[in-house]
Structure 1
Amino acid sequence: MVALSRRSTLACRSPEPPCCSGRTLHVTRQCLSIRVTGRRWLGRPLHQFNRTIRSSASVVGEQGDGQPVQAAITSPISSATQFAAALYQFSRPHTMIGTALSVVSISLLALAGAEPGRVAIVALLQALSSALLMNIAIVGINQLYDIEIDKVNKPYLPLASGALSPTQGAAIVAACAAGGAWIGLASGSPALLATLLVSLALGVLYSAELPFMRWKRSPVLAAGCILAVRAIIVQLGFYTHMRTALDGAAAAAAAAPAAPAAAAAATSPISAAAAATGGGALDVLTHLSPSMWFVVVFMLFFSVVIALFKDLPDVAGDSKAGVRTLSVRLGEGAVFRICVAMLTTAYAWAMVASLTLPAALPARAALFCGHGAMAALLLARARGVDTGAKGHLTDYYMFVWKLFYAEYLLIPLFG
């Protein structure tokens, strides 16, 4: 096998090709000839070239008939496409979808049926963009510290497969974390910035192999990290961010005739809102609606289930690495049954709550039927799962994520 630079040209000719100008590489089964100048050819037996000559991505091998063949040289477009595909896998798309749906859903719940104006749109875009960037940073940190484990459990991930180097992974994490934090800071929203930074801190505590960290080794701490982010911080943080922006804009508009600062609201609505309300974020947190409290508690159940389900397909790698998750300790079957029972209970409670919380009858009917349908699907799929088969557990875990997405489609109806 011989690797060529992009500046070389491959041809299958005789060992002593005709003279021509420029640099040309000729390969036969007996001899490799390189034209170095316009006047002199150097020929060497191929067995003397026992070291692979490496450069860019072009490889010369043999076809079935023994004739040399040139592999395609990687183009910049191809390299960019490969990097984009690796980055897509690195972002863990199912978590990105969950984050996007949660931000949009909670923001709509905070609107409480009001028409979204410019302030609401700006607040939503700030929350959505910064949350997605921070999501990439958090899942990236986990992959950086789990490379050896992922080679067993998830060999398709870019760091485990070698599609991305650890240096590239660290650079992506740093860029996304900095970008998300900058958006949160520039928004002037304390609730948004706190949500992003606390989520990042918990992500580091969960994954980093540092003293007093690597909380994923403890089932209690691991579940605590996930439910804190997915069930509490995300719900309360983005809800408070949106409500503070809306309340601040309303206060600024009411004070516009007497307040010169009202002009600033046109250029920086979120900053003006924060200035107008002062302790608005604290006021929002202390006056949460019953619907919002229900969402927080329901998502606590759901997040615990996801935290436990996440480890079910990874028992082999976790056990080998000494990570004593609950699935490793109790076995896949026991943890699977616990998760299904918990989620079924949560759906039953949601069906009861849907009869009282929304004001409109159509919303009540949609919530009751929706949660009933998801509970039925959960139990129907569970009957066909072989807890001893990793593929079955992985498929069911991804199905639970789909139920998680579907819940965020229903949450705005509680408003």
Structure 2
Amino acid sequence: MSQSSKNSLLLRKSVQSSFHWLYAFWKFSRPHTIIGTSLSVLGLYLIAIAVSSTGFSGIPVSRVLGAWIACLCGNVYIVGLNQLEDVEIDKINKPHLPLASGEFSRQTGQLIVAFAGILALVVAWLTGPFLLGMVAISLAIGTAYSLPPIRLKQFPFWAALCIFSVRGTIVNLGLYLHYSWVLKQGQSIPLVVWVLTVFILVFTFAIAIFKDIPDMEGDRLYNISTFTIQLGSQAVFNLALWVITFCYLGMILVGVLNVPAVNPIFLVITHLVLLVLMWLRSMGVDLQDKGAIAQFYQFIWKLFFMEYLIFPIACLLA
């Protein structure tokens, strides 16, 4: 083999190795949470623009980019720490994750989590005080959720509270206050932000309880008490559906009552369509099929993602 052929082969192996590592990191970051975090940064930015009527030039791109990077790093820290503490459980429930499958060593996972946590705080500190407060509180709750001796995830109520308090309240209010601070406006929170916050808060509760349905086997083996283990998968499945139904009916009511700063027609039609779609999709879910449950769980996340697009658009159309 010629030297050029050897160099070409080494380059190809290096590229493949890099791609494999990046793909493993993508799995480690839990893509659905990355997408949700990114859309929350974008959605609150659009709402802040709509409320302020300053136009897109009112908030510098650097402030939005800083918020996005800080939130993404915080996201990686939280989900990564959870994987570090749940390797044995994930070998049963989520064997495809990098630590459980052996793609990442424990030391690699620790380095990623430490770097992500530090970078999240540094970027938030450089970007704005409200963003720093939001990121710091989120990281503290994420740490308490996964790390012994507190490890709140072993208690169903506190586990759910951690998840929906961060995604439902802290992220939404913190991001809006950050953008409002950049716009040099008062720190009062408008009604439309509270409407979205309540919706996401309640919707995230449904996600928090539903996510344990496909993980029942590993959770029971390692004494992680969840609502699914306590109530059964069918009861939790039905509860999640009705919680999300309540969310959509609430948004439809907001449109019917013609709440200021949102387009009522757009709000009612979009949420009515999604509500019908969810119930139609739920009828085909076999709770004995772990794959079917996982697919419907991802569908619920897609509904969650869409809200961060639909509601800001309703505000921009007002």
Could you tell me how far apart the structure 1 residues matched to 2:259 and 2:209 are? 29
The answer for the alignment partner of 1:233 in structure 2 is 170
Q: 1:96 aligns with which of 13, 25, 34?
A: 34
How far apart are 1:372 and its partner, in Å? 0.5
Q: Distance in 2 between matches of 1:205 and 1:214?
A: 6
| Per-residue deviation, 1:119 | 3.5
1:357 to 2:264 alignment: no
SS at the partner of 1:385? coil
Q: 1 or 2, which has the higher helix percentage? A: 2
- Structure with more of its chain in strand, by fraction: 1
Paired with 1:173 and 1:405, the residues of 2 have a C-alpha distance of 25
For 2:158, the aligned partner's letter is L
Corresponding residue number in structure 1 for 2:151: 214
- The one-letter amino acid of 1:183's match is V
Partner of 2:284: 384
Quick one: which of 18, 26, 36 aligns to 1:80? 18
What code does the residue aligned with 1:216 have?
A: K
Equivalence for 1:164? 104
**Separation of aligned partners in 2, 1:154 and 1:74:** 30
Q: How does 1:62-77 map to 2 (within 5 A)?
A: 75-77=13-15
Residue in structure 1 matched with residue 125 of structure 2 by the alignment: 185
Where do 1:322-401 residues align within 5 Å? 322-355=223-256, 356-359=258-261, 363-401=263-301
Aligned positions of 1:127-142 closer than 5 A: 127-142=67-82
> Percent identity over the alignment?
38
1:306-363 CA-partner distances (Å, limit 9, x unpaired) = 1001111100110011001010111100100011011111101110102312446xx2
Question: Quick check: 1:319 aligned with 2:220?
Answer: yes
Q: TM-score, normalised by structure 2?
A: 0.92
**For 1:106 and 1:357, how far apart are their aligned partners in 2?**
18
Distance in 1 between the 2:270 and 2:109 partners? 40
Residue 132 of structure 1: how far off its partner (Å): 0.7
Unaligned runs of 5+ in 1: 1-71, 249-282
Q: RMSD across aligned C-alpha pairs, in angstroms? A: 1.9
Indicate conservation of the 8 Å contact 1:206/1:222, yes or no. Answer: yes
Alignment partners' CA distance in 1, 2:233 and 2:302: 21
Matched, 1:203 2:142: yes
Distance in 1 (CA, whole Å) between partners of 2:95 and 2:176 is 37
1:176 corresponds to which residue? 116
Matched, 1:143 2:80: no
Aligned to 2:306: 406
Shift of 1:291: 1.0
Residues 332, 388 of structure 1: 8 Å contact kept: no
Q: Hey, what's the Cα distance between the residues in 2 that align with 1:354 and 1:185?
A: 38
Question: How far apart, CA to CA, are the structure 1 residues paired with 2:60 and 2:303?
Answer: 27
Change (3 A) 1:74 1:145: farther
Give the 3 Å change call, closer, same or farther, for CA 118–365 of structure 1 in structure 2: closer
Query: Is 2:177–2:189's contact at 8 Å kept on the other side of the alignment?
Result: no
- Structure 2 unaligned runs (5+)? 1-9
Q: Distance in 2 between matches of 1:295 and 1:120?
A: 24
Aligned letter for 1:357? V
Structure with larger Rg: 1
Paired letter, 2:259: L
Contact 1:120 1:246 in 2 (8 A): no
Per-residue CA deviations over 1:241-293 (Å, capped at 9, x if unaligned) read: 00011016xxxxxxxxxxxxxxxxxxxxxxxxxxxxxxxxxx51xx2211111
**Matched residue SS, 1:347:** helix
Q: For residues 177 and 136 of structure 1, do their structure 2 counterparts lie closer, same or farther at Cα, with a shift above 3 Å needed?
A: same
Match for 2:139: what amino acid? Answer: L
| Aligned counterparts of 1:118 and 1:374: Cα–Cα separation in 2 | 33
- Write out per-residue CA displacement over residues 22-66 of structure 1, whole angstroms, 9 at most, x where no aligned residue: xxxxxxxxxxxxxxxxxxxxxxxxxxxxxxxxxxxxxxxxxxxxx
Task: Confirm or deny: 8 A CA contact 1:357 1:414 kept in the other structure.
Answer: no
Within 1, Cα distance between the matches of 2:18 and 2:211?
31
Amino acid at match of 2:305: Y
Of 299, 309, 316, which aligns to 2:210?
Answer: 309
CA contact (8 A) 2:192 2:261 kept: no
**AA aligned opposite 2:198:** V
Distance in 2 between residues matched to 1:303 and 1:90, nearest whole Å: 21
Q: TM-score, normalised by structure 1?
A: 0.71
Aligned counterparts of 1:119 and 1:324: Cα–Cα separation in 2: 44
Q: Counterpart of 2:43?
A: 105
Q: Distance in 2 between matches of 1:365 and 1:114?
A: 24
Offset, 1:115 = 0.8
Distance in 2 separating the partners of 1:215 and 1:359: 38
